[in-house]
Structure 1
Amino acid sequence: MENNNSNASTSSQNSSPDNKQRSFLERSLNVIEVVGNKLPDPAVLFFLLMIAVWIASAFLAQFTFTAVHPSTGEPINVINQLSGDQLANFMVNMVSVFVNFAPLGIVLVALLGVGVAEHTGFVNAALRKLLGWTSASLLTPMLILVAIVSHTAADAGYVVVIPLGAVIFYAAGRHPLAGIAAAFAGVSGGFSANFIPSAIDPMLAGITEAAGQVLDPELYVNPLANWFFMSASSLLIIGIGWWLTDKVIEPRLVKDTPIDGDMSDMPTLEPLSREESRGLSWATFSIVLSFALLAAAVLWPGSPLRDPNPDLTLFESITSFGAPVMRSIVPLIFILFLIPGVVYGYAARTIESHKDIITGMSKAMESMGYYIVMAFFAAQFIAAFNSSNIGILIAVNGAGWLGSLGLPAQVTIVGIIGLTMFVNLFVGSASAKWLIIAPIFVPMLMQLGISPELAQAAYRVGDSSSNIITPLLPYFPLIVVFCKRYFKGAGIGTLISMMLPYSIMLAVGWTIFLLIYWALGIPLGLQAGYTYG
């Protein structure tokens, strides 16, 4: 398999009409890359958007509008953000606006626990163990499954699962680039899909909640509002990825893409050492024990973690808005990663003292430095946008316009998915895109009777399915480097040509799946419906 048909494949590559197709695709994507690189950094983009809101508010404040606020019944007046009073409020509230920015604390707290689990080696060992159990016939679906689960540990999948995917495919006599493609499809194409709650859930829910509170100040969006749908979506991602990898992508790679890299120092998928196995066993036991204790604490009669309302059933008292356990999802994510991470570290002897635990948390926070900077400017932009009343004005008028078109709600949701995919070609950050889109579309869709949770689910479908074809994804250059190790001629066009079928199939299949899921009325997640009002 390794180099038997490299000459023939190289010749066929040079003469094949398909080569012109790939060259055109690469040129098109290069244009997108150039245009995208000319956009400001997301942090600067939010600053410029805030300035734009200030200027727009000063202009629009001169006019009288007939739109009525849906909650108060009062006419909506745009407030000039460049007036003396508003500029003074901006200076006075700058710190509190940043500190109280909903997604900030949620993300940082969740990643403290994940950082420990990554630093001690628990995440790496668990992924290697899962992949080591897999038979050759189930290699592809298991790799995609592990890639999906790796979202729980933030970006661990990009730097651990994707290169391991190439290693295990090569070791099994399969094309290593097919392993990269399958893992990349799971890690990035299925970015929002997961059986296990991850940091992306509370991050997006916090943004959705903040956006929806423009209309409904009492709105609460559960961090697991999309959990059921995203769990079911994991099966869809695995199925699509499995079929494409084995039936479409790998046969094409075997025919046209020779393995011409230096394999002399090829890493192997080493089995776990005795210390790692011991650490993983104790960590697994700690996870089971933690869940058992949590279940006992919640199910215990009179538990303070449940809603105290005596009229509620057991299930309702656990999942209601007033249940402390439902408002503790983020701390639970922190604890349920911290415990096995620490247990693994001591059992596997990868850490020696509590100082190593703090080091893991510190490294996690270091990796979030850019996000904190972006969050500062995003918070100021959203505060100015909400304070100006421009958002509510757009939402009410936009909802009226959409309503006048008489389009089915399903068509509107498909439009949100398509818009997200387009924006994703220019803005790679999932949170940055939703921070831009949510303040406009969440209230607008609420006016049309569509719940914030459904709008968020549609966004996640569009964002995930287009991740794997945008060169502006922060990890995209890294994946190209992984490909070059096995195929020296690999570049952006090589990776795009591999991943484009996944992107198209995921976009179409996942959109249809959402519409069917919606039609059947299956719950999206905890405390989440399809309609608002």
Structure 2
Amino acid sequence: MSQESQTGQQNTDYGSGVLARFLNGIERVGNKLPDPAIIFLMAMILIWFLSWIFSSFSFDAIDPRTGQGIVVHNLLNGDSMAGFLAGMVKTFTGFAPLGVVLVAMLGVGVAEHSGYINAGLKLMLKRTPQALLTPSIILIAIVSHTATDAGYVLVIPLAGVIFYAMGRHPLAGIAAAFAGVSGGFSANFIPSGIDPLLQSFTQSAAQIIDPEIAINPLNNWYFTSASSLFIVLLGWYITDKIIEPRLKQSPVDGDTQSLPSFSEITGKERRAFFVASAVMIAGLVLLYLAASPADSPLRSPNGELSDFKAPLMQSIVPLIFLLFWIPGAVFGFMVGTFKSSKDMIDAMSKSMSSMAYYIVMAFFCALFIAAFAQSNLGALLAIEGAEVLKALALPSAVTIVGIIFLTAFVNLFVGSASAKWALLGPIFVPMLMQLGISPDLTQAAYRVGDSGSNIITPLMPYFPLVVVYCQKYVKNTGIGTLIALMLPYSIAFLIGWTLFLLGYWALGIDLGLQASYVYPAK
């Protein structure tokens, strides 16, 4: 038997084993659920009734954000229902992922329909070895965290196109990119706005015990950098050895005719691509020059560029729009795909039409998430879970593992990393400081747990968008399909990354700048 045949046989075994049967069962059950939009509607109604029931109870748990006892708000009383109706439009239009996706897609639509992205992919595919395609995609997905939500609207859909062009299953590309963007959310060797954001909550929580303590914003940088390599390698193995073999039973039956053609790039396209790219690079240089001065208006009041309050970080999505729209327009007019400005507007309209289903899902998703936050049920769940873990008084290493898995569980219901840490940090950080564990290590454990379950919860705001990406290739893709696709990553990341942190700790490798494992620091 040839080596190729042996590899194929091994892949088939992976695709038909116990794991595959388990995942197929999850997919079947999940896809029997109603349409995702209806699920969000039903979940919102359930939250209404749960808020009505639990609002009559009093709880001992203290909300660390207010210092007051946690109170569940009844969403079925007259005032709440009137507020729900009055604020429905604002809730929908204020849904953060909606604006991010639509504005970015306007620029991406011009770059896509002009042929600019197509030309770039042709050149990239000629230079990327087939064997390194998967790790390259995951690494790019991890780096995309630096640009906030850019990975969701750029890297994930492009990964599907690239895998399809290389003759591989497009859903495997989408899964690999989704795993890197969301499952590996806390793995990045480039500092980003999430670092000072989490540090601010960690420091305020630590000052409950030690009012003079100061936490460096890059206190986990070395660990997250090392985690990048670990997640790339683990995600690479899962994609090529588990996910893609299983996808052989999922034929590509979507509207692939609308995908770009990957014939040989012409000389005219090559010249236009490099001119358009030069224009984009010139724009980036101008942006760099504008952001460099210490008093740049693009910086935050404290002079930082990576702070979430910095205008530069708040302008990421408009910048994505411009950095695709401008070179896309240049390319289109140079090669002739755009004859007039109307052609460019038509390209933007086409990109919006492909988002119609996502907009409908986003409407119901926004209403559900708003109701869940207003009810305070998520806060109650997080605080009560943390108090149970605290009461168990487990050994330090076991407590760290408990924090990781409790965070992963809470993450299924409360997606925001900062919102969860605002609830859990004031409980975990002081508790572990009293056990001699530093706030730096506690925060690292939280970041591991906060990432692993992102990719399996439909309540994550971008989850419906990834379902839409998959449906472009496999029409019957549903919530169950995507959960089954991502579950191996989630399980492997949670277990493997936890062991990686424990091993990192055992070896005593520095977590980050001015970080320690013990409190008080030696």
Length-normalised TM-score, structure 1 = 0.65
* Aligned equivalents of 2:113, 2:351: Cα separation in 1: 9
Please give the residue correspondences for 1:270-349 in structure 2 after superposition, counting only pairs within 5 Å. 270-300=263-293, 302-309=295-302, 316-349=303-336
Question: What is the match of residue 75 of structure 1?
Answer: 69
Question: What is the match of residue 162 of structure 2?
Answer: 161
SS at match of 1:337: helix
Q: Does 1:373 align with 2:354?
A: no
Q: 1:387 pairs with 374, 385, 388, which one? A: 374
Length-normalised TM-score, structure 2 = 0.66
The amino acid of 1:124's aligned partner reads N
Say if 1:92 and 1:269 are closer, same or farther in 2 by CA, change over 3 A: closer
User: Structure 2 stretches of 5 or more lacking a match?
Assistant: 142-150, 206-218, 249-259, 430-441, 476-480, 514-522
* Aligned equivalents of 1:92, 1:366: Cα separation in 2: 28
Q: Does 1:415 align with 2:383?
A: no
The 8 Å contact of residues 186 and 447 in structure 2, kept in 1 or not, is answered as no
Q: Deviations over 1:17-68 (max 9, x none)?
A: x969925554433322221122232222222222112212222222233333
Say if 1:39 and 1:49 are closer, same or farther in 2 by CA, change over 3 A: same
What is the Cα deviation at residue 286 of structure 1?
Answer: 1.6
* Aligned equivalents of 1:49, 1:231: Cα separation in 2: 38
What is the Cα deviation at residue 162 of structure 1?
Answer: 1.1
Number of aligned residue pairs: 438
Q: Does 1:187 align with 2:174?
A: no
SS at match of 1:65: coil
* Aligned equivalents of 1:354, 1:35: Cα separation in 2: 48
Say what the alpha-carbon RMSD is for the aligned residues.
Answer: 5.1
The 8 Å contact of residues 40 and 365 in structure 2, kept in 1 or not, is answered as yes
* Aligned equivalents of 1:358, 1:196: Cα separation in 2: 38
SS at match of 1:317: coil
The 8 Å contact of residues 283 and 344 in structure 1, kept in 2 or not, is answered as yes
The 8 Å contact of residues 110 and 344 in structure 2, kept in 1 or not, is answered as yes
What is the Cα deviation at residue 163 of structure 1?
Answer: 2.0
The 8 Å contact of residues 67 and 396 in structure 1, kept in 2 or not, is answered as yes
The amino acid of 1:107's aligned partner reads V
Question: What is the match of residue 484 of structure 1?
Answer: none
Question: What is the match of residue 489 of structure 1?
Answer: none
Say if 1:336 and 1:390 are closer, same or farther in 2 by CA, change over 3 A: same
Q: Does 1:448 align with 2:442?
A: no
Say if 1:112 and 1:236 are closer, same or farther in 2 by CA, change over 3 A: farther
User: Structure 1 stretches of 5 or more lacking a match?
Assistant: 167-175, 217-224, 258-266, 310-315, 424-432, 482-491, 524-533
Q: Which moved more, 1:504-513 or 1:110-119?
A: 504-513
Please give the residue correspondences for 1:119-518 in structure 2 after superposition, counting only pairs within 5 Å. 119-134=113-128, 138-142=129-133, 144-146=135-137, 149=140, 151=151, 153-166=154-167, 183=173, 186-192=176-182, 235-240=229-234, 270-300=263-293, 302-309=295-302, 316-406=303-393, 410-412=400-402, 414-415=404-405, 419=409, 441=420, 444-449=423-428, 458-463=449-454, 508-512=495-499
Say if 1:4 and 1:50 are closer, same or farther in 2 by CA, change over 3 A: closer
What is the Cα deviation at residue 295 of structure 1?
Answer: 0.6
* Aligned equivalents of 1:157, 1:20: Cα separation in 2: 26
* Aligned equivalents of 1:145, 1:446: Cα separation in 2: 34
Question: What is the match of residue 52 of structure 1?
Answer: 46
The 8 Å contact of residues 160 and 171 in structure 2, kept in 1 or not, is answered as no
Q: 2:511 pairs with 521, 526, 530, which one? A: 521
What is the Cα deviation at residue 297 of structure 1?
Answer: 0.6
The 8 Å contact of residues 195 and 231 in structure 1, kept in 2 or not, is answered as no
* Aligned equivalents of 2:290, 2:117: Cα separation in 1: 27
Say if 1:361 and 1:237 are closer, same or farther in 2 by CA, change over 3 A: farther
Say if 1:97 and 1:46 are closer, same or farther in 2 by CA, change over 3 A: same
The amino acid of 2:278's aligned partner reads F
The 8 Å contact of residues 221 and 511 in structure 2, kept in 1 or not, is answered as no
Q: Does 1:104 align with 2:98?
A: yes
The amino acid of 1:95's aligned partner reads V
The 8 Å contact of residues 65 and 423 in structure 2, kept in 1 or not, is answered as no
* Aligned equivalents of 1:285, 1:338: Cα separation in 2: 14
* Aligned equivalents of 1:75, 1:130: Cα separation in 2: 56
Say if 1:520 and 1:349 are closer, same or farther in 2 by CA, change over 3 A: farther
Question: What is the match of residue 32 of structure 2?
Answer: 38
What is the Cα deviation at residue 464 of structure 1?
Answer: 5.2
Question: What is the match of residue 173 of structure 1?
Answer: none
Q: Does 1:29 align with 2:31?
A: no
What is the Cα deviation at residue 86 of structure 1?
Answer: 1.6
* Aligned equivalents of 1:34, 1:513: Cα separation in 2: 33
Say if 1:57 and 1:230 are closer, same or farther in 2 by CA, change over 3 A: same
The 8 Å contact of residues 144 and 185 in structure 1, kept in 2 or not, is answered as no
Say if 1:443 and 1:102 are closer, same or farther in 2 by CA, change over 3 A: same
* Aligned equivalents of 1:385, 1:243: Cα separation in 2: 37
Say if 1:23 and 1:505 are closer, same or farther in 2 by CA, change over 3 A: closer
Question: What is the match of residue 426 of structure 1?
Answer: none
The 8 Å contact of residues 138 and 235 in structure 2, kept in 1 or not, is answered as no
SS at match of 1:356: helix
What is the Cα deviation at residue 161 of structure 1?
Answer: 1.0
Say if 1:41 and 1:441 are closer, same or farther in 2 by CA, change over 3 A: farther
The amino acid of 1:140's aligned partner reads A
The 8 Å contact of residues 395 and 447 in structure 1, kept in 2 or not, is answered as no
The amino acid of 2:383's aligned partner reads V
The 8 Å contact of residues 345 and 351 in structure 1, kept in 2 or not, is answered as yes
Q: Deviations over 1:124-147 (max 9, x none)?
A: 22122122124xxx4411464157
